[in-house]
Structure 1
């Protein structure tokens, strides 16, 4: 699965009831998870020992959890809650009606696009588990690292750029609909300022 070494494979169901009991979740929290998730199985344990790598200073291993979703338009908060509750580094393999995507929480929820499960793969790059885990996050998030940035800094920059682009799109829509020349001009000026902040013309 995901092109990961056979030595990492597991098939260990993780009952939702066990999660509820372990983390003493209230009825509302349980309902949110139940609304999105039908089943969770731990399918891989990727560790330094199993990969014959040096242990990381921070990361010793990570797990891949196969998560069967009840709906494709799931709540991201459900996955964030799950990731925060379980004190392990985790990749979530989300599946719904013959399609799949990968997700990982690292300061924010990063995801691939939906695709055929056979098209998904993780490349384990790095000489230590710290490096391997960072590269897994980069792959799933489609992150292009800029020189001098840490992973956290790059994620924050990418998030800010995405917010700016959404605001630009919103203002462009308003500008197209605006009839008054003065207001239209003001909107265009705002758009130009935001485009400069986001890195220039799109």
Structure 2
């Protein structure tokens, strides 16, 4: 699976009831979880035990791949985050829906790839130790540009700021299109442009 070495493969089911108990989910939350997810399995262990050629990192010694069979593409990300918080390990999620797959990783927040045909998805083990391998996996799944002079956490904080700015810009743009009063429309457009300048400055300062 995901073109990882066969020696890393394992098959261990993770019962949904275990998640319900851990987080004391209400009946409504359990129903929502069950509406999104049909099955969860731990399918790969990538560690110094299974791949001795990769050295232990200072922080990361291994990671696991969880296969999550979805009932819908419009799943609630909180349900995936709950699984990540349940298991105190580094996890890559392989989210399956019909013949497609989406990779996800939780690091401060949930990052996901685009949906791909299952045969085209893979996880690359790039790096001399597991710190490097894990960081490269997160960057690959999250996508976009990364500043090598900043830490992983600093890069993620910047990405979060960019996403918030982009969402607010889109919100203001919608309001401006609907606004009929010229003065109010002008104010909304001015706010949007100010945020666009802030977003451009953030991108330039981080990636120039």
C-alpha contact (below 8 Å) 2:169/2:195 kept by paired residues: yes
Matches within 5 A, 1:12-161: 12-20=12-20, 23=22, 25-28=24-27, 30-51=30-51, 52-161=53-162
| Gaps in structure 2 of 5+ consecutive residues | 204-208
Deviation, 1:112, is 0.7
Deviation, 1:98, is 1.6
In 2, the alpha carbon distance for the partners of 1:196 and 1:24 equals 42
In 1, the alpha carbon distance for the partners of 2:148 and 2:139 equals 14
In 1, the alpha carbon distance for the partners of 2:115 and 2:133 equals 23
CA, structure 1 residues 24+74, in 2 after alignment: closer, same or farther (shift >3 Å)?
A: closer
Give a deviation string over 1:120-162, Cα, whole Å, max 9, x none: 1111111111111111111111142114221111112112111
Root-mean-square deviation (Å)? 2.0
CA, structure 1 residues 145+116, in 2 after alignment: closer, same or farther (shift >3 Å)?
A: same
Give a deviation string over 1:141-186, Cα, whole Å, max 9, x none: 1142114221111112112111111211221222233333222221
Give a deviation string over 1:73-96, Cα, whole Å, max 9, x none: 111110101100111111110111
In 1, the alpha carbon distance for the partners of 2:25 and 2:175 equals 43
Query: Is 1:7 aligned with 2:36?
Result: no
In 2, the alpha carbon distance for the partners of 1:88 and 1:19 equals 15
CA, structure 1 residues 80+24, in 2 after alignment: closer, same or farther (shift >3 Å)?
A: closer
C-alpha contact (below 8 Å) 2:19/2:82 kept by paired residues: no
Deviation, 1:17, is 3.5
Aligned residues: 200
Per mean C-alpha deviation after superposition, the further-off stretch among 147-156 and 55-64 is 147-156
**TM norm structure 2:** 0.88
In 1, the alpha carbon distance for the partners of 2:23 and 2:109 equals 24
In 1, the alpha carbon distance for the partners of 2:60 and 2:87 equals 15
C-alpha contact (below 8 Å) 1:43/1:66 kept by paired residues: yes
Give a deviation string over 1:45-85, Cα, whole Å, max 9, x none: 00023222111111111110111112221111101011001
